[in-house]
Structure 1
Amino acid sequence: MKLWLNVAEGAEYAGVCRDLIYDACAGRRIHHIRVGGRRAIRLKREWIDEWLERHAVVTQDAPPPARAAAGTNVRAEVAS
C-alpha cells in the first residue's frame, strides 16, 4: 500500500471528486504537502480520514433509498 496518494488517488479513496480535494487543500481544510513548492499535492490516508471525520454530517434516521429491481427501468417508472 502506497504511503503517499496524489489528488486523484485521494479522491478515489475518500469517495469524492478531485475538485473537492483541491478545494479542501486550497482552503487548508485537509492536511497535505506540496512536492516542489506549489507543484504536486500529496496526501496520506490518515489525513483524508481525519478530514472526513471532521466534515461528516450525521443525518436523521431516514429510510434508505428504494433500489430498482434488476432489469427495471427506473426512469420509465418515474415518468409514468
Structure 2
Amino acid sequence: MQLGTRWAVGAEPPARLSSEVVAELRSVEAGLPASERGVARWTLTWLEGRPVAELDLGIVVTVDHAGTVVVRHDDQDQSD
C-alpha cells in the first residue's frame, strides 16, 4: 500500500486520479448532507497501483481488477 493524500469534500482531488474516479467522488459528495460538505475529508491511498479513496464517513471509492470504479461502504465485503 502506498500512502497518498487527504483533502476536504468539495476541494479539488489529486490530479493523478482518473476522470472516472473523480466523477464518482463528485457523485458521492453530491449525495452528502450540506453539513458534511467542507467538513468530511477523503483519504487517498494506493493498493496494487489502484486508488482507494475513503471518506471519513465510511464510503470508499476504488477501482477493481477489471478497471471498474466501485463505490461501497467500508463495512461491505471487499471481493475485488
Please state which band the TM-score falls in when normalised by the shorter chain: 0.3 to 0.5
**TM-score normalised by structure 1 residue count:** 0.33
Q: Which has more strand, going by share of residues?
A: 2
Q: Which has more helix, going by share of residues?
A: 1
Give the greater-gyration-radius structure (CA). Answer: 1
**TM-score normalised by structure 2 residue count:** 0.33
